[in-house]
Chains A and B, each alone.
Chain A
C-alpha cells in the first residue's frame, strides 16, 4: 500500500488536492463577494482532484525506471536566476544561466560555449535593453547594466 502511494502520478494528484484544499481555506476566510468565483473554482478543483487521485490509485500506471538526470539542476538554475533578477538586474543572472543551459545541452567546447553565452545572453540583453529600449531590470540605478 505504501509503495503505491509514492508513485509519481499519485503524488501529483495528491499535491493538487492539497493545494486546492489549502487555497480553499483562504477563499472561505475572505470576503464573500470578492471570493464568490474563487470559491466555486476551488470547489470544482478539489472535487476533480479527489476524483483524479482515486482514479490514479485504482489504475496504477507502471512506474518508469527513474534515472538520475541533471534536469532538477536546470530547473533550479532557472528559478534562482528568476529570483535573483529582482536584486541583481537582468544581465548578471542571465549569463551563468545561459552558460549552464548550453553546457547541459552538450555544448561543451570552450569556444562555442563562450561565444554562445556572450551572443545569446549578453547580445540579446544588449539588443533589448539598449537598442530597442525595452528596459529590463537593472542592477545600477542609472540603468546601464
Chain B
C-alpha cells in the first residue's frame, strides 16, 4: 500500500502531469494528421526525454503513444483517411456516419471507446499481467500462425459485396510485405537488382498512399461539388443508456485488444481488424455494420487503444517489448538506469506502479483533451478545400519519408496513391490491402518458423498444441459458417427472382 501511495506521489508531480498533458495533446494531433503516426511522434519526443527523470519521460512518451492511437480516428471519421494505420478499421463505419451527418455521434463513440479500451487494458495490466504474460508465452510460432490465419479471414467480412476484389487486394498487400529481405534466409526478393528495394516496403508509405493520397485524388475529381465540403467536426458523448446498450461491444473490443496486445509482434492495427471481424459475427446489430453503425467504431477504437496498455504486459513481465513503441519505451528506461527484464516487477516495483498510474491519467487526459483537439481539427478543416488538400499532401510526404529516412518511400507512397485511385474507381475495397500488409509478415514468418520447428511437417501444426488446435477449429467453423451464409443468401436471391416482385418490397 505504501508502495502504491509512493508511486502515486511519483506520478502526480507537476512535471509528470505537464508531460502527460503536452504528450497526449501532441499525440492526438500527430495521430490525427494523415501520414504522421505513433513512431514519428515518439521519434520527435524521444530526444526531449534525455534530460527528464524516468517517470516524466515515460509520461511524455506514453501520452504521445496513447494520444496518437486515438487521434488517428479523428481523420478516419472526418475525411475517410485514417491518421494512423491503427485506425484503418474505423473508416468502415466512421465515414458512413459522417456522410449521414452523424459526425458528432461518431467522434463521441470513438473517443469514449478509446478511453474505455485504454482504461480496461490498464486494469488488466495491473491485475493480470503475470498470468497474461504466462499465457502469451504459450503462443509459439505455430499458435501465432493459427491466430493470424484467423485474423486474415476478416478480409472476407470486410470486402462484402465483392469478395474476389477484396481477396486480390489482400494478396496485393501480402505481396507488398514480402518485398525485400526474406526474414528466414535473408535472401533478397523482388528487388530486381535495385539495392534500395532490399529494405522492403514499409507499411506507413503504403497506407499514406492508399488512403491519404488517393483521397486527395478522389476529392479532386469532385472538387466543385457541394458534397465534398468537410462537415464541421463536433463531439457528442454517448449517454449512459446508450453506453449500457453497447457495453458488451466495448468489453469485447477491449478484451480482444488487450489479448492481442499482450502477444509480441502483432500490434494495434491487427487488433482493430480482428475485433472488427469479431463484431461482424457477434454484434446484435451486425447487419448494419459497414453502413454507419457505432458498433463498428467501438470494435475498432476500443481494441486499438486497449493495445496501448497491454503492450506493456510482455515488457513488464518478461522484458520483451510487444511492439516498436514499447521497445522505444524500454530504451528510455535503459537510459535512466532501469533494466527491463524478468525481474523488473520485483526490483523496480515503485516505478512500475507509477507507470500504471501514468497510463490511467493519460487515458483520462485523452478524454478531457479530445474536445479541444477536435476543435482544432474543426478550424483546420474549415479552411478552403485547397489548403486542406495541400496540407494532406505535405503531411503525407513528411510522414512517408521520415518513418525510416528513406526517400524511396516517397515514390512508394506516390505510386500506391495512383494505384489505389485506379482500384477505388474499379470498385476494389482498399482495407484488405492494409490487412494483407499488416498481417502478412506475421503470417509468413510464423509459418516458416513453424515449418523449421516441426522439421517441415505442416500436418503436425494441427496437433501441435491445444491452443493451435482450438484456433484451427475456429478457422474451420468460420469457413463453414461463411460458406453456408453465402449459399443461403444466394438461394434467397434466386427465390426472390423467381417470385413476382411486388413494388413495395423491391426496395429492400
Instruction: Tell me, yes or no, whether A and B come into direct contact in the complex with CB atoms closer than 8 A.
Output: yes
Residues of A within 8 A of B44 (CB): 132-134
A9 touches B427 (CB 8 A): yes
* B426–A98 CB distance below 8 A: no
A143 located at the interface, meaning its Cβ lies under 8 Å from any Cβ of chain B in the complex? no
Residue in B185, B401, B422 whose beta carbon sits within 8 Å of that of A34 in the complex: B185
Q: Which of A55, A69, A97, A121 contacts B164 (CB 8 A)?
A: A55
Given A31-B185, A34-B182, residue A78 in contact with residue B394 (CB < 8 A): no
Interface set, chain B 174-227, CB cutoff 8 A to A: 174-175, 178, 182, 184-185, 187, 189-190, 192, 213, 216-217, 220-221, 223-224
The residue of chain A having its C-beta at the shortest distance from the C-beta of B417 within the complex is: A78
Residues of A contacting B167 with CB < 8 Å? 44, 48
In Å, the complex CA distance between A52 and B423 comes to 13
Q: Mark A34-69, 1 if CB is under 8 A from B, else 0.
A: 111110011011001101100100000000000001
User: Could you say which residues of chain B place their CB within 8 Å of the CB of A124?
Assistant: 391, 394-395, 398
Answer whether residue B415 sits at the interface, using C-beta atoms and an 8 A cutoff. Answer: yes
Q: Which residues of A from 118 to 140 have beta carbons under 8 Å from B?
A: 120-121, 124-125, 128, 132-137
Quick check: is B386 within 8 A (CB to CB) of the other chain?
Answer: yes
Which one of B386, B389, B426 contacts A8 once the chains associate, using CB atoms below 8 Å? B426
Determine if B220 and A105 form an interchain contact, defined as CB atoms under 8 angstroms apart.
yes
* Residues of chain B with a CB closer than 8 A to A136's CB: 398, 401-402
Also in contact, A134 and B43, with CB within 8 A (given A42-B175, A45-B172):
yes
Selected from A12, A69, A102, the residue in CB contact (under 8 A) with B422 is A12
Given contacts A48-B168, A102-B386, A104-B220, contact A37 B417 (CB under 8 A): no
Q: Would A48 and B184 count as touching, CB distance under 8 A?
A: no
| Nearest CB in chain B: distance from A4 CB, A | 15
State whether the Cβ of B425 lies closer than 8 Å to any Cβ in chain A. Answer: yes
Q: In the assembled complex, which residues on chain B have CB atoms less than 8 Å from the CB atom of A52?
A: 164-165, 168
Would A16 and B168 count as touching, CB distance under 8 A?
A: yes
Question: Are B423 and A12 interface neighbours, CB within 8 A?
Answer: yes
Interfacial chain B residues near A105, Cβ < 8 Å: 220, 223, 384-386, 389-390
Contact flag A97-B393 (CB < 8 Å), given A45-B171, A51-B164, A52-B165: yes
How many Å from the CB of A131 to the closest CB on chain B? Answer: 10
Of the candidates A30, A71, A102, A120, which one forms a contact with B189 in the assembled complex, judged by CB atoms under 8 Å apart? A30
Cβ contact within 8 Å between B444 and A86: no
Assembly CA distance A85 to B407 (angstroms): 7
> Which partner residue on chain A sits nearest B43 by CB separation?
A134
Partner among B178, B390, B402 whose Cβ is within 8 Å of the Cβ of A37: B178
Closest A residue, CB atoms, query B426: A12
Q: Which residues of A contact B394 (CB under 8 A)?
A: 94, 98, 120-121, 124
Instruction: List which B447-462 residues lie within 8 A (CB) of chain A.
Output: 447-448
How far apart sit A48 and B394, CA to CA, in the bound complex (Å)? 36
Chain A residues with CB under 8 A of B224: 106
Q: B268: shortest Cβ distance to chain A, in Å? A: 22
The answer to whether B217 touches A85, judged by C-beta atoms less than 8 angstroms apart, is no
Q: Return chain B residues, CB-CB under 8 Å to A23.
A: 175, 190
- In this complex, the member of A8, A55, A71, A78 whose beta carbon has the largest number of chain B beta carbons within 10 angstroms is A78
**Residues of B331-345 contacting chain A, CB below 8 A:** none
Query: In the docked arrangement, what's the CA distance between A112 and B385, Å?
Result: 13
Quick check: A107 and B168 within 8 Å, CB to CB? no
Closest to B412 in A: A82
- B47 touching A133 by the CB < 8 A rule? yes
Residues of A within 8 A of B149 (CB): none
Chain A residues with CB below 8 A from B414, complex form: 75, 78-79, 81-83
Complex interface: chain A residues within 8 A of B393 (CB): 78, 97-98, 101
Contact indicator A41/B426 (Cβ below 8 Å): no
Using CB atoms, name the residue of chain B closest to A113: B386
Judge if B255 is at the interface, Cβ distance under 8 Å: no
Contact present for B447 and A37 (CB under 8 Å):
yes
The residue on B at minimum CB distance from A128 is B398
Residues of B contacting A49 with CB < 8 Å?
Answer: 168
Q: Shortest distance in angstroms between A98's beta carbon and chain B's nearest beta carbon?
A: 5
Of B167, B184, B448, the most chain A CB neighbours within 10 A belong to B167
Tell me the smallest distance from the CB of B432 to a CB of chain A, in Å. Answer: 11
Given the complex, which residues of B lie within 8 Å of A82, measured CB to CB? 397, 410-411, 413-414
Could you jot down 26 A-B contacts, CB within 8 Å? A12-B425, A12-B426, A16-B172, A20-B171, A31-B185, A38-B189, A41-B178, A44-B171, A45-B168, A45-B171, A69-B221, A71-B221, A74-B216, A79-B411, A81-B397, A86-B410, A90-B401, A94-B397, A97-B393, A102-B387, A105-B389, A117-B390, A120-B390, A132-B44, A134-B44, A134-B402
Contacts A12-B425, A116-B387 known; list 14 others, CB within 8 Å. Answer: A30-B187, A30-B189, A34-B185, A38-B189, A41-B171, A41-B175, A42-B171, A44-B171, A48-B167, A75-B414, A78-B414, A83-B414, A90-B397, A137-B401
- Chain B interface (Cβ < 8 Å from any Cβ of A): 40, 43-44, 47, 164-165, 167-168, 171-172, 174-175, 178, 182, 184-185, 187, 189-190, 192, 213, 216-217, 220-221, 223-224, 384-387, 389-391, 393-395, 397-398, 401-402, 405, 407-408, 410-411, 413-415, 417-418, 421-423, 425-428, 440, 443-444, 447-448
